[in-house]
Amino acid sequence: MVSMKKNPVNNKKNKTTKIKKRKAEKFKRKQDEKKFLHKNKKTIRTVTTLAIIAFIIVSSFLIYQSTMGKKSTVELGDEVKFNFISYYDNNDVIQHTIVPNPDSVTVDTPLDDTRLKMPQRLIIGGYKQVDGLLSFLYWNDDMLLGLKKGKTYTISIPAEQAYSGPQLSVLTEEERVFSVPRDTETGRYGVMELNSFTEDYGEPEVGKMIDVEGVTLQITEIDDTIVTYEYYYEIGDEIYLEYGKAIVTDKTEDQLMANYVGEKGVTFYIVKNNTWLPAHVKEVTEDELYIEIDHFNYKIRIESITKNIIDEKEWNVSGGDLAIVRYIGYYEDGEVFDSSINDPDVEQSKDLPLDNTYDHNELTITIMPGQTIPGTQSLITGFNDALKGMDIGDEKVIEVSPEDGYGAWDPEKVEQVDLLIGTFGRFEVVQKEQTMSIDEYMAQNGYEPLVGAVISFYFGEGVITEINDSIVTINVTSVMNTEFIVDYFKGVVTSENDSSITIERIVEDGDTIAIPGGGSAIAHVNDDEIILAYDPTHYSVGDSFAGGKITDITDTYIEIDKNHPMAGKTLFFKLRLINFRKVA
């Protein structure tokens, strides 16, 4: 068998030839590309330039659209000018900004430029004193966020949150619909003050029938101050009660029995959690009415937007802002000393929640420093500072040192008040020529004396007749012929001659005399003398007295502590920020 082997020389030659061929092909491709680019370079440059221009135009347009969109969209801190028509769920119009207030305005009336209007303004999230239906939008102004200029929207505010926002809603969502029996009763009789009745309806007479807002009343009794009347209804008559129209079904000695008709589509007002709320009949069964709390609805058009009246970057509580706060204040041992929870059946505890589980008397305060907003409070430094930086719904527990609370306890504010106030003559003779130093005169009157000037005494008037060697001479020219106050007592002038007048202090033995700034005292009177003193048996340790609290009572004095009751104590507060408004 013959072995066949490849020629190594030929193999090497073939390999070299293939490499050269590939290099030649690659070189040719590059030459062809250069020729193409050179030949079409103007076209390529034009296309590239146009692409860049198109990119710039599209980008600029998108940026412009974004900017304009933002400028025409309501955001926090913006001031908006707007028009509105407000209405109940049954489409009855309540209020609107169309002038001159035509009765023909309905929910379908357009808010376009074909009508004269009186637009309103709000800063979204900003403080403003408002009233009426505008206050409902004010406390729920977050519903305006995202609205666009020139467009018309519908906003529905549940009536239970209209008065101060959802955080302070007087009802839960489950309480918005409730049932009441159709059979009900109401008192047959009512009373009115005689003066009010006479002013509104003339002289009353027993048996007289009067009409009061469509309700017939019959007067049944008159005394010195009160007019008693009966609601004059017969069985089968219509009567309007808390939940609308009802039919009188029976009468007892004191009550009218009635059955609710259950009119749908009629808005009436009811009291829930001490708040008047609009409501309507949602459903009627044989035995019950189902009542639903209404909404305050607004058809609203944004007319203009002024951006960034308040900087949105600073959107939390700071100095000068209005804040609404719930709180529980307690000492280190857990004893609660104060709380916003307003429920007498609940035992106060630092662990109680600050959500809507309980009713609250929220604090409305001005965050200091800042000009105090009318109707708000300013609180201790530690409480005040803790609210800064908080946002709606935030909670925290703070510890307030005495220095940031009510101060350290000061022993110098503990005083002793003598039981004996003073001894006074029943009669006092006053010379008609009075003298005093210029310093005394200025301390009493606050200005320099002048010859001929008229000055007042508690018993009359006098005229400055001379100023000599720092002495002022005054002559009494007239005296009062009525009672006046002298020291702690009433006084009268009992006699007068050329040189003097006699004053009597009018008081009986055992009279109680009010002491300005410090309780009351007992007058002990004899023929010529009045001894005025506190009676220690009228007071107890812990009573308020003379601007402080009594800490001790002896035979000769009453000891009082004028320190704040929480002075020297470390305080703890659990806080929840319910709402706030920035002050621009």
Q: Say what the pLDDT of residue 11 is.
A: 54
Over residues 234-240, mean pLDDT? 93
Domain coverage including residue 326:
316-408+571-581
* 148 within some domain: no
- Domain identity same for 479 and 502: yes
> What mean pLDDT is reported for the chain?
88
Distances (CA, A) of 112 to 68, 94, 147, 303: 22, 19, 16, 10
- Domain identity same for 501 and 483: yes
Which residue matches tokens 């005093």? 436
Over residues 304-311, mean pLDDT? 90
Q: Say what the pLDDT of residue 184 is.
A: 96
| ∠ CA 191-194-198, rounded to 5° | 115
Cβ–Cβ contacts within 10 Å for residue 198, how many?
Answer: 13
Structure tokens that stand for 54 in this block: 């198109």
pLDDT at 319 over 50: yes
* 494 within some domain: yes
Q: 17: pLDDT confidence band, cut at 50, 70 and 90?
A: low
Q: 216: pLDDT confidence band, cut at 50, 70 and 90?
A: confident
Contact (CB, 8 A) for 128 and 137: no
- Domain identity same for 471 and 554: yes
- Domain identity same for 326 and 395: yes
pLDDT at 417 over 90: yes
pLDDT at 510 over 80: yes
Which residue matches tokens 């049954």? 90
Rounded to two decimals, the pTM is 0.67
Over residues 298-318, mean pLDDT? 88
Q: Say what the pLDDT of residue 47 is.
A: 67
- Domain identity same for 441 and 537: yes
pLDDT at 153 over 90: yes
Over residues 187-215, mean pLDDT? 89
Which of 9 and 54 is assigned the larger pLDDT?
54
- Domain identity same for 403 and 442: no
The set of residues, in sequence order, having a beta carbon less than 8 Å from that of 42 and lying 6+ positions away, is: none
pLDDT at 130 over 60: yes
For residue 347, give the 3-state DSSP assignment: coil
Query: Which of the residue ranges 80-94, 100-114, 231-245, 504-518 would you say has the lowest mean pLDDT?
Result: 100-114
Over residues 83-101, mean pLDDT? 91
Distances (CA, A) of 119 to 113, 328, 372, 395: 12, 42, 29, 38
- Domain identity same for 514 and 554: yes
How many structural domains are present in the chain? 2
pLDDT at 3 over 50: no
Q: Say what the pLDDT of residue 378 is.
A: 79
The set of residues, in sequence order, having a beta carbon less than 8 Å from that of 108 and lying 6+ positions away, is: none
- Domain identity same for 334 and 419: no
* 189 within some domain: no
Kindly tell me the burial class for residue 286, based on how many C-beta atoms sit within 10 Å of its own C-beta (0-12, 13-18, 19 or more).
Answer: exposed
Which residue matches tokens 């409480």? 383
* 470 within some domain: yes
Q: 5: pLDDT confidence band, cut at 50, 70 and 90?
A: very low
Alpha-carbon gap, residue 477 to 459, rounded angstroms:
11
* 239 within some domain: no
What tens digit of pLDDT does each residue of 278-301 get? 999 999 999 999 999 999 999 999
For residue 524, give the 3-state DSSP assignment: strand
Alpha-carbon gap, residue 334 to 328, rounded angstroms:
11
* 211 within some domain: no
Q: 2: pLDDT confidence band, cut at 50, 70 and 90?
A: very low
Structure tokens that stand for 435 in this block: 């003298």
Q: Say what the pLDDT of residue 347 is.
A: 94
Nearest to 566 by CA among 451, 404, 423, 360: 404
Q: Say what the pLDDT of residue 4 is.
A: 45
pLDDT at 58 over 70: no
- Domain identity same for 520 and 429: yes
* 120 within some domain: no
Residue 404 belongs to domain with CATH number: 3.10.50.40
Numbers of helices and strands, H then E, in the chain: 6, 38
What would the DSSP string read from start to end of 386-448? Answer: HHTT--TT-EEEEEE-GGGTT----GGGEEEEESEEEEEESEEEEESEEEEEHHHHHHHHSS-
- Domain identity same for 377 and 434: no
| Phi-psi group of 150: left, alpha or beta (phi > 0 → left; psi -120 to 50 → alpha; rest → beta) | left
- Domain identity same for 549 and 429: yes
* 364 within some domain: yes
- Domain identity same for 425 and 556: yes
